[in-house]
Amino acid sequence: MPAIFKSPAFVLSGQDLGESDRLITFYTMLRGKMHGIAKGAKRSRRRFVNALEPFTMLDLSLALPRTTGLNRIDSTEIMDNFPVIRHRVECFIMASLCCELVNLWTKENDTQEEIFKLLQWYLKSLNDGLHPRKTTLFFKTLLLAMAGYGPDFDQCLLCKRPPMSDHVIFKIHAGGFICSECWNSVDRTHKISLGTLKSLRHIQNGSVDNFHRLTMTDSVFEEAWSLMKGLHCHHLERVPSSYEAFNGLKLEIRK
Ligand SMILES: [Zn+2]
């Protein structure tokens, strides 16, 4: 008998494997990211009835190989399939982006229960109808910090003092900002407002409990959104493919 591993888990992604199987990527509470083969899932959808759709929360059982090889999915029980997210295009794209980011940022069998909890808070909030872009901004800011790449929002990279004026220059490559006293000699792309800096600091230093307390103007929100996208893409050295779907979404809205 193979060893059975059981854990609550989220489905991050899936891909076809050979003629009849699918290879599913999960984020589990007990062991972080894990893969499992869904035997026969491509040929018959009945066996796993919707359990392997992206961002479904499962009670997962994996049969672990005795020596080498892949885990096999032994059983799945749906704990939550977040139906509202699936019926709203914007929420679906946001949730897909966040699952893709978790997949890109994490390594196999590297347990980070805080990432599991963040994903759980995020999908539940999205499903409960909380502002999709704001919840996604919280998610992306906190995930970046959990991955160990949270920028320094507190002090200027050069003079090490807190910002004194309304704007700063953000240096994505250096993971911090340059204040107006020091910015004479630097390239001024990525100028952001103090409000944006403070909002991101508030999110990063706090927790999801700060969600309702933080209010942001549209311009602060847009700046924070684009800065977070820039930081994730820079550190991951790629543009996550879900961002393409955002471009499609914007076009659709414009029509
Ligand atoms: Zn300075």
Name residue 171's beta-bridge partners.
Answer: 176
100 pLDDT above the threshold of 60? yes
Distance, CA 222 to ligand 1 centroid (Å)? 24
Range of the domain at 130: 83-255
DSSP label of 215: -
> What string of DSSP letters covers 19-66?
TTEEEEEEEETTTEEEEEEETTTTT-SSTTTTTTSTT-EEEEEEEEPS
Model pTM score: 0.92
Domain check: are 15 and 102 in the same one? Answer: no
Q: Which residue has the higher pLDDT, 187 or 239?
A: 239
What would the pLDDT profile of 115-144 be if each residue is shown by its tens digit? Answer: 999 999 999 999 999 999 999 999 999 999
Domain check: are 111 and 170 in the same one? Answer: yes
> Which two tokens mark 193?
């407002």
Q: Which of 32, 59, 81 is the last residue of a domain?
A: 81
Domain check: are 61 and 97 in the same one? Answer: no
Above pLDDT 70, what percent of the chain?
A: 96
Distance, CA 190 to ligand 1 centroid (Å)? 16
Distance, CA 179 to ligand 1 centroid (Å)? 4
Summary mean pLDDT of the chain: 91
Distance, CA 163 to ligand 1 centroid (Å)? 7
Domain check: are 193 and 218 in the same one? Answer: yes
Domain check: are 162 and 240 in the same one? Answer: yes
Is residue 136 within 8 A of residue 61, CB to CB? The reply is no
Closest CA to 131 of 212, 50, 22: 212
Domain check: are 115 and 51 in the same one? Answer: no
Distance, CA 198 to ligand 1 centroid (Å)? 16
Domain check: are 114 and 210 in the same one? Answer: yes
Distance, CA 157 to ligand 1 centroid (Å)? 7
Considering only 35-44, 155-164, 197-206, 226-235, which range has the smallest mean pLDDT?
A: 35-44
Domain check: are 74 and 144 in the same one? Answer: no
Domain check: are 120 and 66 in the same one? Answer: no
Distance, CA 175 to ligand 1 centroid (Å)? 14
pLDDT for 122 equals: 97
Number of domains observed in the structure of the chain: 2
Alpha-carbon distance 36 to 238, whole Å? 26
Residue recorded with tokens 């994505």: 172
Domain check: are 147 and 58 in the same one? Answer: no
Q: Which of 60, 81, 102 is the last residue of a domain?
A: 81
Domain check: are 106 and 38 in the same one? Answer: no
> Which two tokens mark 171?
């240096």
Residue 103, SS3 per DSSP: helix
Q: Which of 43, 60, 81 is the last residue of a domain?
A: 81
Distance, CA 152 to ligand 1 centroid (Å)? 13
**What CATH number does residue 183 fall under?**
1.20.1440.120
Closest CA to 197 of 170, 234, 215: 170
DSSP label of 167: E
Distance, CA 205 to ligand 1 centroid (Å)? 21
pLDDT for 255 equals: 40
Closest CA to 82 of 113, 128, 147: 128
Alpha-carbon distance 196 to 239, whole Å? 23
Distance, CA 228 to ligand 1 centroid (Å)? 22
Domain check: are 137 and 208 in the same one? Answer: yes
